[in-house]
Structure 1
Amino acid sequence: MPLTDIKIRQAKASERPLKLSDGNGLYLEVKPNGSKLWRYRYRIDGKENLFALGDYPTITLSEARKVRDDARELIKKGQHPAHDRQNGRRQTIASNRDTFKAIAQEWIEKKRGGWTPYYLLQIERGMKTDIYPRIGRLPIRAVTSADVLAILDRASKRGAETVALNLRQWCSAVFRYAVATLRADLDPAAPLRGAVIRPPVEHSKPLSREDIADLQKRLAVYGGHRTTIIAVRLLLLTFVRTTEVRHAEWADFHLEEAEWRIPAERMKMRRMHIVPLARQTIEALRELKAVTGDGRCLFPNTRRPHDVMSGTTVNRALSIMGFAVGEVSGHDFRATASTRLHEMGYRSEIIELQLAHTERNRVKAAYNHADYLAERRQMMQAWADWLDGVVSDKGPLL
């Protein structure tokens, strides 16, 4: 007769093991020490085998029957239930090892060679600040769309919608990498496209002649670090991106040839960029070299010698000078130079090339930097002279 819970509880230990049958190969073995163990006896290829299910009452009667029934289905397919359980344990161990953080770090290592240092820093900061604390320890197969959405919502609620969009993109890339390496089955971040509304783009604004004059006058009396003043001055003179100034290295400068050659890996568009240096720019660099020339970087971090100037330093200096938040930013200098140089009559392709913008026209993109270098040298010197003329109220009134 099939077993009952009452019969199992009342079963007493004896000097010999006692077997209580439940049917279809399942029985309970009562050991002389009083322990009660579930066993399932079955045959494959005519050979008798024994499958240990676990102990009672950890595994109840109904649970033992469920395990037996599942095992019978495996046996019909010629599979040993013990082997299936071992495979399940191995998969669990592998799943616990393949956490989101472990796979994300592996993905970063494989991809970092194709990223700029600034983009790599963005990803690592986003992972450390927003992603790892929420899902880093979870097996990647256990992460759900709801888990990722919670991360995006937290970023959006603090007003960082653009960060939230990047976080979704980076999570999605990690999941796709896990799928490609057979450690995940799907990308739970994919359905979340559109979950965060992209904020309106605030385009950089060109500064007027009066704005530039006012900025340079405030810069002349700024009481902060001299290196910060030179950093702002270089942004004005070269109109490169702020990150390109911050990460600039002395090895990239060739003062005798009046050139700054920015390596491709530090450029947003992943192409080597030549910045012709005006006379005023070289003067600023020679002054800076007396301060930081013994190191690798033009603008080392004052608190972390092996790092570069903080990304907030320039805008913070502008704030200390009295500019309201958002009134003037380092990126506005690029828009200013573009507008004024067009007004001065320089060709669009020369200006765009000096701004290191992506050229959608492949024919134009094929031109070598050196093809226009002489014209760009003249333009950069004219721009530096115009900046000086603005302060002294001389030069063209653009």
Structure 2
Amino acid sequence: MLTDTKIKSLKPRDKAYRVADHNGLCIEVRPSGTKLWRYRYRFNNKASMLSLGEYPIVGLADARKARDQARLLLDNSINPSQNRKQEKIEAQHLSANTFELVANEYITEILIDRSSGYISKFKKALEFDVFPVIGDKNVKDITSADILHIIRSTVKRVRETGKRGSGEVTALNNQKFIGAVMRYAIATLRADNDPTYAVRGAIARPEIEHARPLTIQEQKLFRSGLDTFKGSNTVRNALLTMAYTMLRSIEIRRMKWSYVDFGLKIINFPISTRSNNQERTTKKNRLHLVPMSNQLFDLLKIQFIESGNKEYVFPSVYGHNDGVIGNSTLNVALKNMGLNTVTAHDFRATASTILNEKDFDEDWIEKQLAHADQNKTRASYNHAKYMEQRRDMLQQWADIVDGWKE
């Protein structure tokens, strides 16, 4: 039988040779000096050999244990070499089902028709908070405890970094994204359950801060602030367009020159075809017509000098975000003007409140806000309804907005 002393004394020769230990175990000494453990056995009357590792990385005691484990397989009519191959195949299968790999497949296969902005948000959420915890873990082995750890850590990270936004909202988004990947894993037979289900309610969603009308002081600060605006002309004009039109920020950002008809003095937001990298032009993806006030007409003529050679009316100053201004640009600009608690959406609430107080027809206001008509068939034909009334209303509204600086 071999001992460590004897193994260490074995010298290389011109050809490889083997020295036996016991019960089929031997050590092979190669001309290079490398010493390898081998287990010789017979299966179905056929001689075979199994590699057990390199000495001294695998010591004598460990080599004997490995041999004994192989012998147990033989006692159960299992070929140790075939068993090892099967284990390698299973290991490769497991490594191909890590959360990160499945998530990337989900993005490629399922999110193909989503906007580039949404896909970017999805990827960043996973890279920031999810992959570091469960990226290398097999989707079958992910537990609800893992998800709870991720969402709690997300809340802590957002709060500690002092980033804008709610840690709870970010955490809940991460939970939603993980759940989407896990359900895809279930559908593709790589997981058995969705571990996000058990932690629903573990993080409370903060109350939504609904849009509210600007105060008189905020109205004055906004209108006078535009006269001393220190940002780009494009962002300034986008802010004023938003105030004049009652449009959502996404509609301002995604407005194209092809929608603007100076002859008819109207902006025509079409139904988007939503190609791979295209976002909806309106929130509900409906046809929407916006008659121009005189102020808006003059403003867009000026903006045409700035960006008339580009696709978007209000393009990104730095050429980012698919050519449009960023989704936080308008809100950041408002804060820089001193309107710290005002958001872009508050201008729609302001218009709705003031116009209702002045007894404009509620149907005109709702149509101009592009709120959904409950009757979908009727809504598809009603995009041009009350057009002249809406044109007059928006003209009076633009006059009201201009009056804020007086």
TM category (shorter chain) comes to 0.7 to 0.9
1:171 aligns with 2:178: yes
Point out the more displaced range, 269-278 or 61-70: 61-70
Deviation track 1:155-176 (CA, whole Å, cap 9, x = no partner) reads: 3544632122212222332333
Q: Does 1:155 align with 2:158?
A: yes
Q: CA RMSD in A?
A: 3.8
Aligned to 2:207: 200
Q: Structure 2 residue aligned with 1:241, among 237, 248, 254?
A: 248
The CA deviation string for residues 230-287 of structure 1, in whole angstroms up to 9 with x for no partner, is: 2112211222221221222222334444232144442565523313222333332222
The one-letter code sitting in structure 2 at the alignment partner of 1:322 is G
Per the alignment, residue 18 of structure 1 pairs with 19
Q: Are positions 1:317 and 2:342 aligned together?
A: no
Q: Helix, strand or coil for the counterpart of 2:49?
A: strand
Residue 227 (structure 1) shift: 1.8
Q: CA deviation at 1:332?
A: 0.3
User: For structure 1, which runs of at least 5 residues remain unmatched after alignment?
Assistant: 394-398
Q: How does 1:21-100 map to 2 (within 5 A)?
A: 21=22, 23=23, 26-31=24-29, 36-68=35-67, 70-72=69-71, 74-75=73-74, 79-93=78-92, 96=95, 100=99
The one-letter code matched in structure 1 to 2:212 is K
One-letter amino acid of the structure 2 residue matched with residue 321 of structure 1: M
Match of 1:307 among 295, 305, 323: 323
**Conservation of the 8 A alpha-carbon contact between 1:28 and 1:38:** yes
Tell me the equivalent position of 2:267: 259
SS at match of 1:374: coil
Q: Is contact 1:152-1:165 (8 Å) kept?
A: no
| 1:116–1:309 Cα change, 3 Å | same
CA distance in 2: counterparts of 1:266 and 1:375, whole angstroms: 25
| Contact 2:289 2:384 (C-alpha < 8 Å) held by counterparts | no
Q: Report the 3-state secondary structure (helix = DSSP H, G, I; strand = E; otherwise coil) of the residue aligned with 2:386.
A: helix
Change (3 A) 1:31 1:314: closer
Structure 2: gaps of 5 or more residues:
273-278
Secondary structure of the structure 1 residue equivalent to 2:212 = coil
Question: 1:209·1:390 contact (CA, 8 Å) conserved in 2?
Answer: no
> Cα offset for 1:292?
0.4
Query: Of residues 344, 364, 368 in structure 2, which corresponds to 1:330?
Result: 344
Counting aligned pairs with the same residue, the percent is 27
The separation in 2 between residues aligned to 1:43 and 1:273, in whole angstroms, is 77
Deviation at 1:313, TM superposition (A): 2.8
Find 1:227's aligned residue among 219, 223, 234.
234
Distance 1:18 1:181 in 2: 50
Contact 1:18–1:30, Cα closer than 8 Å, also in 2: yes
Aligned ranges 1:262-273 → 2 under 5 Å: 262-264=270-272, 265-267=279-281, 269-273=283-287
Q: What's the CA shift for 1:196?
A: 3.1
Amino acid at match of 2:233: R
TM-score under structure 2 length normalisation: 0.76
User: 2:354 aligns to what?
Assistant: 340
Distance 2:110 2:262 in 1: 34
**Normalised by the size of structure 1, how large is the TM-score?**
0.78
Q: Residue 217 in 1 paired to residue 218 in 2?
A: no
- Counterpart for residue 396 of structure 1: none
Alignment of 1:294 onto 2:294: no
Query: Could you list the per-position Cα deviations for residues 77-106 of structure 1 after superposition, in whole angstroms to 9, with x for gaps in the alignment?
Result: 655332332343344455556654444333
Q: Distance in 2 between matches of 1:128 and 1:84?
A: 37
> Does structure 2 conserve the Cα–Cα contact (< 8 Å) formed by 1:175 and 1:187?
yes
Residue in 2 that maps onto 1:120: 119
- Alpha-carbon distance in structure 2 between the residues aligned to 1:68 and 1:340: 86
Between the aligned partners of 2:286 and 2:81, the Cα distance in structure 1 is 60
CA distance in 2 between partners of 1:86 and 1:20 (Å):
25
231-240 or 264-273, which deviates more: 264-273
The counterpart of 1:279, out of the listed 280, 293, 298, is 293
CA shift for structure 1 position 197: 3.0
Q: Secondary structure at the match of 1:311?
A: coil
Q: Does 1:374 align with 2:385?
A: yes
Check conservation: 1:29, 1:36, Cα contact below 8 A: yes
CA distance in 2, matches of 1:92, 1:382: 68
**3-state SS in 1 of match to 2:54:** strand
Q: Contact (CA 8 Å) 2:360, 2:393: kept in 1 or not?
A: no
8 Å Cα contact 2:211/2:349 also seen in 1: yes
Shift of 1:210: 6.1
Question: Per chain length, whose mean CA-contact separation is higher, i.e. which structure has more relative contact order (CA < 8 Å, sep 6+)?
Answer: 2
Q: Given residue 136 of structure 2, which amino acid in structure 1 is its aligned partner?
A: L
The one-letter code sitting in structure 2 at the alignment partner of 1:59 is V
Call closer, same or farther: CA 1:114–1:348 in 2, change over 3 Å.
Answer: farther
Q: Partners of 2:393 and 2:217 in 1: how far apart? A: 18
Structure 1 residue 139, shift from structure 2 partner: 5.2
- Indicate conservation of the 8 Å contact 1:206/1:335, yes or no: yes
Change (3 A) 1:37 1:223: closer
